[in-house]
Amino acid sequence: MTENDDAKMIEPPQSGLTRRDLIKGVILGGVAISSSSYLFRASTLAAQTSRGTGDRLLTINVNGQQRRADVMKQETLAWTLRHKLGLTGTKLGCDRAECGSCTVLIDGVPHYSCSVLTHTVRDKKVLTIEGLASPDGALHPVQQGVIDEQGFQCAFCMPGFIMAAVAFLKANPDPTRMELAQGLSGNLCRCQDYDKILTAMMRGAENMRSASRA
């Protein structure tokens, strides 16, 4: 999308604002502009009832919020999340379903968001790393486990690992280290920091168990 290309070319300001804040700000602004241009077309869009008849303006449920975005037919969920909704916590590593850094939960199930068309998740609930902490700011037990154990090195793969772990631990609250490794085997860490990651995730599992007891 052109607004994103523009965003990357803008010089970072000298003070205050970080590069990340600036890019996210510009992305969100771009979405607002591009969505508003569609608003006046709402009546024609509402007339189209069957699935996939050509409307690009979507409302998708992300992290419990109804988010509107202008989505191309061939657009992947990772692209929409990062470039249209400003949710840059979801990382794009390989873009080929081979690394796991784009893992998000769709109806509670981990998927590679680089390999899901956004138009196929219209009726579903998407959860990204941004939606994991509770509204009061308390971290998810798995996130807390990562901090407690300093689980990651560069942490580019971390959001994907955490999302995969959250879903796995929900179904298997008390895994062995080996079982957890199997459960997280769809995620790669290029720093080869697996041992520490597993320790952190095991701590996360422990945190989840004590949180559910409390």
Q: Which stretch binds another protein (CB under 8 A): 14-22, 113-121, 130-138, 191-199?
A: 113-121
Number of residues that bind another protein (CB under 8 A): 34
Distances (CA, A) of 106 to 72, 135, 152, 168, 211: 19, 20, 25, 13, 23
Q: Does 117 bind another protein (CB under 8 A)?
A: yes
Q: Does 178 bind another protein (CB under 8 A)?
A: yes
* Closest separation in Å from C-beta 22 to another protein: 22
Other C-beta atoms closer than 10 Å to the C-beta of 206 total 15
Residue from 88, 90, 101, 103 in contact with another protein (CB under 8 A):
103
Nearer to another protein, 96 or 213 (CB): 96
Residue from 23, 27, 67, 76 in contact with another protein (CB under 8 A):
76
Q: Does 193 bind another protein (CB under 8 A)?
A: no
Nearer to another protein, 144 or 159 (CB): 159
Q: Does 161 bind another protein (CB under 8 A)?
A: no
Residue from 19, 20, 41, 73 in contact with another protein (CB under 8 A):
73
Nearer to another protein, 53 or 66 (CB): 53
Under a CB-based contact definition with an 8 Å cutoff, are residues 145 and 152 in contact? no
* Closest separation in Å from C-beta 136 to another protein: 30
Q: Does 164 bind another protein (CB under 8 A)?
A: yes
User: What does the binding site for another protein look like in residue numbers (CB under 8 A)?
Assistant: 50-52, 72-76, 79, 92, 94-98, 100, 103, 109-112, 114-117, 119-120, 164, 168, 178, 183-186
